[in-house]
Amino acid sequence: MSGRLSVVATPIGCLEDITLRAIRILREADLILAEDTRHTRTLCAKHGISTPLRSFHAHTNDDKVDLLLAELADGAHYAMVSDAGTPVVSDPGVYLVSRAAKAGIEVEAIPGPSAVLAALCVAGLPVRRFVFEGFLPRSGGDRTRALDRIAQSAITVVLFESPHRIHATLNDLERTLGGDRQMALCRELTKMHEQTIRGTAPEVRSALSDPARGEITVVVEGKPADAPVQNIDLGALVVEWQREGLSTKEMTQKLQRDLGWKRNAAYQAILNTLKPT
């Protein structure tokens, strides 16, 4: 009889952020596959879990994966965890899940904490649709293309970054996106020193402690609709709005709401139009 692979989400910081079902599954499993057994052992000690641990990470070779699959095929029940959050999301566990599924082994999700969703909850940016970029490539054409994708994305983008590369990434985001796109930088989510910095790339960079510490999730506002300056006679619109008794603020809001302009650009355009010639 074929066994079962449980993909178990674990806390991203606070060890209390784990579901009752996850604790039960980790206790019932024959073995816990952990990215870092030392890290997972701390979680297990906190919740009275005595299940044996075995290392499984990006450098686990195919022979060991084959052995795991054979044991699962013989009826074993294994639980797979990452160091933090939901396995398979920017995580080497995807390889084992793919191999297990192809081998006809049952794979079940035990949902729970996710740095992606936690960051979206506190970012204050639109979340009806979003795309997850994971970790950006470190350099070269792949990094340039990833930054270009973010710059052109009309929906919110979420990415991960390490503390020692975050300043370079913020510099690249400012260069690629310009200085108007809003973002939120979330670090140490659910931990004692949790921090969310909101603003443009230069504002976030200036507010970030140096050196930055803790795992970082960045949420970037989608590209706003381009202001169709060439398709409207702004002067005529302003004259019409003046007849209607609209204030400068109300004109600015109409450009934002009706034509997709950024606030600063809309306000400046109104002021320029109102200047006496």
| Domain edge (last residue) among 113, 137, 168 | 113
pLDDT at 227: 39
Same domain, 86 and 126: no
pLDDT at 229: 44
| Domain edge (last residue) among 87, 113, 139 | 113
**pTM more than 0.85:** no
pLDDT tens figures, 118-141: 999 999 999 989 999 999 999 888
Same domain, 83 and 39: yes
pLDDT at 260: 67
SS3 per residue for the chain:
CCCEEEEECECCCCCCCCCHHHHHHHHHCCEEEECCHHHHHHHHHHCCCCCCEEECCCCCCHHHHHHHHHHHHCCCEEEEECCCECCCCCCCHHHHHHHHHHCCCEEEEECCCCHHHHHHHHHCCCCCCEEEEEECCCCHHHHHHHHHHHHHCCCEEEEEECHHHHHHHHHHHHHHHCCCCCEEEEECCCCCCCEEEEECHHHHHHHCCCCCCCCEEEEECCCCCCCCHHHCCHHHHHHHHHHCCCCHHHHHHHHHHHHCCCHHHHHHHHHHHHCCC
Same domain, 109 and 122: no
Q: For residue 24, what is the domain's CATH number?
A: 3.40.1010.10
Alpha carbons 123 and 117: distance in angstroms, whole number? 10
Contacts of 13 (CB under 8 A, 6+ apart): 84, 188, 189, 190, 191, 194
Question: Are 43 and 219 spatial neighbours (Cβ–Cβ below 8 Å)?
Answer: no
Same domain, 126 and 160: yes
Torsion of CA 179, 184, 187, 188, to 10 degrees: 170
pLDDT at 96: 94
Amino acid at residue number 198: R
Alpha carbons 80 and 95: distance in angstroms, whole number? 12
Contacts of 224 (CB under 8 A, 6+ apart): 260, 262
How many Cβ atoms sit within 10 Å of the Cβ of residue 118? 19
pLDDT at 231: 46
Number of domains in the chain: 3
Same domain, 96 and 8: yes
How many Cβ atoms sit within 10 Å of the Cβ of residue 198? 17
Q: Which of 199, 83, 178, 88 is nearest to 134 (CA)?
A: 88
How many Cβ atoms sit within 10 Å of the Cβ of residue 202? 13
Same domain, 147 and 108: no
pLDDT, one tens digit for every residue, the chain (277 residues) = 689 999 999 999 999 999 999 999 999 999 999 999 999 999 999 999 999 999 998 888 899 999 999 999 999 999 999 999 999 887 788 999 999 999 999 999 999 999 999 999 999 999 989 999 999 999 888 899 899 899 888 899 999 999 999 999 999 999 998 888 999 999 999 999 999 999 999 999 999 977 777 889 999 999 876 534 444 678 878 888 888 899 999 988 888 776 667 788 888 888 888 876 5
Same domain, 19 and 109: yes
pLDDT tens figures, 187-199: 999 999 999 999 9
Domain containing residue 268: 229-274
pLDDT at 223: 85
**What are residue 31's DSSP bridge partners?**
78
| Domain edge (last residue) among 113, 130, 158 | 113
pLDDT at 225: 64
